[in-house]
Amino acid sequence: GNSVTQMEGPVTLSEEAFLTINCTYTATGYPSLFWYVQYPGEGLQLLLKATKADDKGSNKGFEATYRKETTSFHLEKGSVQVSDSAVYFCALTYGGATNKLIFGTGTLLAVQP
């Protein structure tokens, strides 16, 4: 079946450090891939997405590339800020009429000043 596996947290970094959060997936066909972010006390927000192989999603300095050969969609940022502290969820949708999302377990990122 379809599934998403992402690295366990928490990830603790100092401000301006480089961030990588690993995400791999299992899916039949050609899923769309997403990163959602959940800031404290808020709902999930779409951070970026990619809909086909080799697509790169980017937003707010974050990037992720859809790698079909390694079934991965790792999230990266060159220089994190304290305001990036949040829980990050990797997800996929296998389309169809209802666009159901399958989520990874989430990774807590804590950025220290």
- Give the binding site for another protein (CB under 8 A): 4, 32, 34, 36, 41-46, 49, 51, 89, 93, 95, 98-101, 103-106
The Cα–Cα gap between 57 and 51 comes to 9
Which one, 73 or 106, has the nearer CB to another protein?
A: 106
- The nearest distance, CB 6 to another protein, in angstroms, is 9
- The nearest distance, CB 100 to another protein, in angstroms, is 6
What are the phi and psi torsion angles at 53 (to 5°)?
-55, 140
Residues sharing a CB contact under 8 Å with residue 1, sequence separation 6 or more, in sequence order: 26
- The nearest distance, CB 77 to another protein, in angstroms, is 21
Smallest CA-to-CA distance from 87 within 8, 16, 2 is with 8
